[in-house]
Structure 1
Amino acid sequence: MMFLELMMLADEPLKTVGEIMEAAPAEVWQAVDPENTLYIETPKGRVVVVLSPDLAQAHVSQVKTLAREGFYDGLNFYRVVHGFVAQGGDQSETKDKGSAASSLTAEFDETPPEDLPFTPLGYADGYAAEAGFINGHPAGRDAKDDKVWLAHCTGAFAFARDVARDTASTEFYVTLQPQRYLDRNLTVAGRVIYGMDIVQAMPRGDFGDSGVIANEADWTPIVTMAVASDIAEADRTALEIMDTNNETFSALIKARANRAGEFFYHQADYIDLCQMPIPVRLTPAETP
């Protein structure tokens, strides 16, 4: 943080996260786009994934095609590595992919469109020249290489692949904890914004078997996977995400980096990218 900003911070009383959230205007909340939202139905409930409309477009298109053609219906989360990922898809690798691509060109990082907004985190990052947020997704940026990418924070929805870079196809995983060393090595297509507790509670596999769950009875079934826009509106989960391109979200970053309140005696003036949650809420009921 620049010296002038530090001086201003010292002169102004620190606000708590709660105070900022309570004062947040209605316009900072955005309804999730149903066309870029996945519903993964499990026996324990619904997991909601918001996809990136800006990056990894081929992978986003692929997973929507697969979902719409019923590819994932009846498959499972069959590999769950404690503290790492929950992987789902066709463990046997025999199911017909329908009209989906047999393999995808990697979208590990991309040259951003000129008008793509990027909200800087404002603090140093060990995995990116600059960390920040792109339309509700944690991301990295390297201005020298003119590249941006989505980050492997908790809940990242990404495509698995073989050793060769352009081999992603149908297998996906959800990160159970930040796995930033995977950034720019696998393609992140979105993130879980609701139902992460369901993913975290899935039975784990043995480390010696790379997390593949030996007993198929312990696999977590994917009852269905659907694009939210294909579901009747009454049956959707109405969610809103805070827009990351506004002063309220920037204030939240500063509040989490410099905790206010009588409990805190020291302000770190720092926050890690994956420690900065992007607020999500159920859409408030309309008042008659």
Structure 2
Amino acid sequence: MSAYEDPENTIVITLKSGTVAIALLPDIAPAHCARMKELAREGAYDGVVFHRVIDGFMAQTGDVQHGLAGGDLRRAGTGGSDKPDLPAEFSGIPHDRGTLGAARSSNPNSANSQFFINFSDNHFLNRQYTVYGRVIAGMEHVDAITRGEPPANPDQMISVKVAADA
């Protein structure tokens, strides 16, 4: 029995300071939620660093191509997965503190594997970046992620799992 209301749509990220639980929003952004679960189930996010962490703004991670801890992180933030990019799924859900957003290039339909967690309400991002989840537990661990662009010693996602599989 899972501790989460909807374990199939809950992502559990293990960080050095503790566990973060994210409730996905499949009714709002089905393709983005499916992609995150697919990559989590493949273990693609395990060991990936937070390569862009801006105090008062957000923590970005998910570059499964260039963002592995212990690797050459100079290109972290420039890659994605081997899967096709996702079409934007913009909605009226605001980019509030703790929401999960899809990182992308200037092309709105270029999201792939990278995502960010908002440290604060960032409403200037509304309807420009797909929101597809929100932190439901462990936001204090997100707040503790080492800052930098990139951080000198970046924190990593030790593991990323779908709660239903844990």
Please state which band the TM-score falls in when normalised by the shorter chain: 0.7 to 0.9
Measured in 1, the distance between the counterparts of 2:142 and 2:111 equals 22
What SS class does the counterpart of residue 150 from structure 1 fall into? Answer: coil
Q: CA deviation at 1:89?
A: 1.7
Aligned residue pairs total 152
Bigger share in helix: 1
Equivalent in 147, 162, 166 of residue 227 of structure 1: 162
Q: CA deviation at 1:53?
A: 2.6
> What is the correspondence of 1:90-129 to structure 2 with a 5 Å cutoff?
90=63, 91=67, 92=76, 93=78, 97=81, 101-109=83-91
Between structure 1 and structure 2, the one with the greater Rg is 1
Q: CA deviation at 1:94?
A: 5.6
1:56 aligns to what? 29
Asked if the contact 2:17/2:144 (under 8 Å) is kept, the reply is no
1:191 matches 2:129: no
Q: CA deviation at 1:76?
A: 1.1
What SS class does the counterpart of residue 198 from structure 1 fall into? Answer: helix
Q: CA deviation at 1:212?
A: 2.3
Aligned-residue CA RMSD (Å): 1.7
1:173 matches 2:116: yes
Q: Which runs of 4+ in 1 moved over 3 A?
A: 91-95
Equivalent residue letter for 2:89: E
Measured in 1, the distance between the counterparts of 2:61 and 2:125 equals 18
1:212 aligns to what? 150
Gaps of 5+ in 1: 1-30, 110-148, 206-210, 232-288
CA deviations on 1:117-146 (whole Å, 9 max, x unpaired) are: xxxxxxxxxxxxxxxxxxxxxxxxxxxxxx
Equivalent in 47, 56, 65 of residue 38 of structure 2: 65
Measured in 2, the distance between the counterparts of 1:78 and 1:41 equals 17
Assess, with a 3 A threshold, how the Cα gap between structure 1 residues 177 and 58 changes in structure 2: closer, same or farther. same
How many percent identity over aligned positions?
39
Measured in 2, the distance between the counterparts of 1:154 and 1:172 equals 14
What SS class does the counterpart of residue 65 from structure 1 fall into? Answer: helix
1:242 aligns to what? none
CA deviations on 1:83-134 (whole Å, 9 max, x unpaired) are: 0000112243567x35xx320000013xxxxxxxxxxxxxxxxxxxxxxxxx
Q: TM-score, length-normalised on structure 2?
A: 0.86
CA deviations on 1:169-191 (whole Å, 9 max, x unpaired) are: 01100000000110100000010
Gaps of 5+ in 2: 68-75
